[in-house]
Chains A and B, each alone.
Chain A
Amino acid sequence: MKKAFLISLSLSLVALSSAHATPPTQPKAPGIESPDYAWDEQSSEEAQMLKMKGDVAQGKIAYQGCQGCHKPDASGLPDGTYPQLAGQHTTVLIKQMSDVREGRRDNPKMFPFAGKHVVDTQEVADIAAYLNSLPLPGHNDKGPGSDLVRGKMLYERDCVSCHGEHGEGNAEKFYPVTNGQHYRYMVRQIVTIRDGSRRNAYPKMVKVVKNYSVSDIGAVADYMSRMELPAKAEK
């Protein structure tokens, strides 16, 4: 028993130490393809981070490792490569970072900068608190504007019940703020959610967009990219 433990410990140590020589690759955890997948089930680390009190000032420091891609104002890139994060719910940020760290959301580009070897759990909570405190940049990528009537119809039929009248999402339920998100980022995410390659998707949403054509996705994302927050809307 003890010997087996020592062997497995030393094996894991060897694995860890060899992981140091070359940057680690993202682990792969069961996702939506797995039969007992529960989209909002919290891993122990995620639950721990959600309970932590994030420190905005510390988060600003820890965010220095993120702003190379997500930009100092957290507005990401208009071409949709990197999402807008300012004002996002802390719960959503923690869940998504946790999913990347533990391999439920495949993101080999982000993993080397957000993995457990780079930021600790308190820093994840701090980064989330900092991002949540930032104002919406207000210069997101927008769609062509050619199919907004259809986009509005789809949004009001399929999306508003979770993402809210103004795209404000729901912090408690891990539904993201979509208000002010880049059009091309949303298109990319809806496509990957529809097609199953975003493995940490909410199955209910997969069902909703399952029959969406590319033009449906474009229309609804375009409409969402143009939403305005009412003057005193809660985040």
Chain B
Amino acid sequence: MNRSILAILALFSASTAFAAPPVKGDAKKGEVIANQVCAACHGPDGNGTNPPNPDYPKLAGIQPEYLFKQLKDFAVGKRKNDIMSAMVANLSMDDLANLALYFSAQKNTPGVSSNPELLESGKKFYADGNPDQGVPACAGCHLPNGAGTSAYPHVAGQHASYVFQQLKRFASGERDNDRGLVMQSLSMRMTEQEMKAVSEYVTSLK
């Protein structure tokens, strides 16, 4: 009983805190931790590995509010990932804020599409969504250039394989820390082909 109340409170705090406050901290301190803890997988500048690995997303240039929220979610188990939970277990909230600021300040390198034949249909889906299925256009929240907004993350240049994997996880409910269930609601209405195509387009955005 008490546990379910706590769970509910956690859910509400997760889903109603839309306008995230600005992240405060010190990117320099973040850089030290990044080099010790994060660089092996995410690259020293947060641009991931080469070749891209779907488990190690790019972090460079993503809004600090988004990065900080994800790190906190890993820390408390709202976003489930065995590697990340272990990585953040020994870090303080200040460390997480510093990391978010550091990676956010790095320059995002362009992504490379390995399936250019999907770019055209991916572009169309990104711009229009799928009105018949009630899938909103990605561009609505993430903006036409993929830069995102204060409330929705930067996606341009992200590894296609990571985007695809996350869409699949949102669709299955395996990842459920999205704002107001928006990503779960729309990804479950997407076909795998649409997910593939839009992932390729996202990685090609600069």
Query: A residues engaging B (CB < 8 A)?
Result: 6, 10, 13-14, 16-17, 20-24, 61-62, 64-69, 71-72, 77, 79, 81-82, 108-110, 112-113, 115, 117-120, 123
**Cross-chain contact B136 with A69 (CB below 8 angstroms):** yes
Verify A17–B4 contact, CB threshold 8 A.
yes
Evaluate whether A112 and B182 lie within 8 angstroms (CB atoms) in the complex, with A68-B140, A81-B131 already known. yes
Interface contact A113-B173, CB-CB below 8 Å: no
Nearest opposing residue in chain A for B14, CB measure = A20
B128 to chain A, nearest CB (A): 8
A6–B137 touching, CB < 8 Å:
no
| Contact segment of B49-57, B106-114, B159-167, B184-192 | B184-192
Known: A68-B139, A110-B134, A117-B181. A13 touches B5 (CB 8 A): yes
Cα–Cα distance between A108 and B134 once the two chains are bound (Å): 8
Other CB < 8 Å A-B pairs besides A20-B11, A65-B141, 14 of them?
A13-B8, A16-B11, A17-B11, A21-B176, A61-B149, A62-B18, A66-B140, A68-B138, A69-B131, A69-B134, A72-B140, A79-B131, A81-B132, A117-B181
Please judge, given known A-B contacts A17-B8, A23-B185, A68-B140, whether A82 and B176 are in contact too, CB under 8 Å. no
Of all chain B residues, which has the CB nearest A66? B140
Q: How many angstroms from the CA of A207 to the CA of B179 in the assembled complex?
A: 42
Contact in complex: B1, A22 (CB < 8 Å): no
B181 touches A16 (CB 8 A): no
- Say yes or no: B140 contacts A6, CB within 8 Å: no
**Nearest A-chain residue to B19, judged by Cβ:** A61
For chain B, residues 1 to 45, give those with C-beta under 8 angstroms from any C-beta of chain A: 1, 4-5, 7-8, 11, 15-16, 18-19
Residues on A with C-beta less than 8 A from B186 are 112
The 6 closest A-B pairs by CB, nearest first: A68-B140, A68-B136, A109-B134, A112-B185, A118-B180, A23-B185
Contact B11 A68 (CB under 8 A): no
Q: Mark B71-87, 1 if CB is under 8 A from A, else 0.
A: 00000000000000000
Q: How far is the CA of A77 from the CA of B140 in the complex (A)?
A: 13
Interface pair B185/A13, CB less than 8 Å apart: no
Q: Tell me if A113 and B185 are in contact (CB < 8 A).
A: yes
- Which of these, B16, B150, B179, B184, contacts A61 with CB under 8 Å? B150
Chain A residue nearest to B7 (CB atoms) is: A17
Tell me the minimal C-beta distance from A117 to chain B in angstroms.
Answer: 6
Q: A13-B5, A67-B141, A109-B134 are in contact. Are A23 and B184 (CB under 8 A)?
A: yes
Interfacial residues of chain B within 149-206, with CB under 8 A of chain A in the complex: 149-152, 173, 176, 179-182, 184-186, 188
Closest to B4 in A: A13
Please name all residues of chain A whose beta carbon is closer than 8 Å to the beta carbon of B182 when the two chains form the complex: 65, 112-113, 118
In the assembled complex, 13 residue pairs joining A and B whose CB atoms fall closer than 8 Å, in A order, are A17-B7, A23-B184, A61-B151, A66-B140, A68-B138, A68-B141, A69-B131, A69-B140, A71-B140, A81-B131, A109-B134, A110-B134, A118-B15
- Chain B residues with Cβ below 8 Å from A109 are 133-134
Residues of B within 8 A of A61 (CB): 19, 149-151
- Taking CB atoms, residues of chain A closer than 8 Å to B15 are 117-118
Could you say which of A62, A66, A112 contacts B181, with CB atoms under 8 Å apart?
Answer: A112
Contact B173 A64 (CB under 8 A): no
B61 at the interface (CB under 8 A from A): no
- Determine the chain A residues whose CB is within 8 A of the CB of B7 once the complex forms: 13, 17
Given contacts A16-B11, A61-B150, A117-B181, contact A68 B5 (CB under 8 A): no
Q: Which residue of B is nearest A10, CB measured?
A: B1
